Amino acid sequence: MKSILYLLIGLFLVACQPRESVRLIYPDKIYEHTEWTEDETKKEIAIRHLHRNADSSTHLIRLKGKEFPHFHDHHNLTVSVIAGTSVIHFKDHEVSLLPGDVIHIPKGTLHWAENMDPVASVAFAVFSPAFDGKDRRKAE
């Protein structure tokens, strides 16, 4: 009986572990087991641009450090945490994040993310409309 209990506890603990990678599924491509390059692992923030059309753009983000407080004046942002632990900061509060959490940041909202994981956090981000790389205004 004890061995069955230990087996069940072990399976539960394994099942509760955060996944190191998830599949990102598009109609024409599946991104699996993303490996970060050596250069990407050295960066505080590494961004992989995955898809873009007029309506939205999608990105895979590896956060080792933290962002500076900023706004997106023309873009809504939705972020899904894939791996690691982090914190999303807003003007007057912060929220601890775990894999599976989804954050929606309407345009004009002050925010910044901070990695709390010993290695790095990974997230999937969707900008709407498509991110132009310029719409990031630092907070004063």
Dump pLDDT digits (tens) for 51-90. Answer: 999 999 999 999 999 999 999 999 999 999 999 999 999 9
Average pLDDT, the chain: 87
CB atoms within 10 A of CB 88: 20
Q: Find the helix or strand (DSSP H, E) in which 13 lies.
A: helix 2-16
DSSP characters over 111-132: EEEEE-SSS-EEEEEEEES---
CATH topology (fold) of 20-138: Jelly Rolls (2.60.120)
Dump pLDDT digits (tens) for 4-36. Answer: 333 334 444 434 444 456 888 899 988 886 789
What's the CA angle centered on 46, arms 36 and 29, to 5 degrees?
A: 60
Q: Whose CA is closest to 101, among 117, 86, 116? A: 86
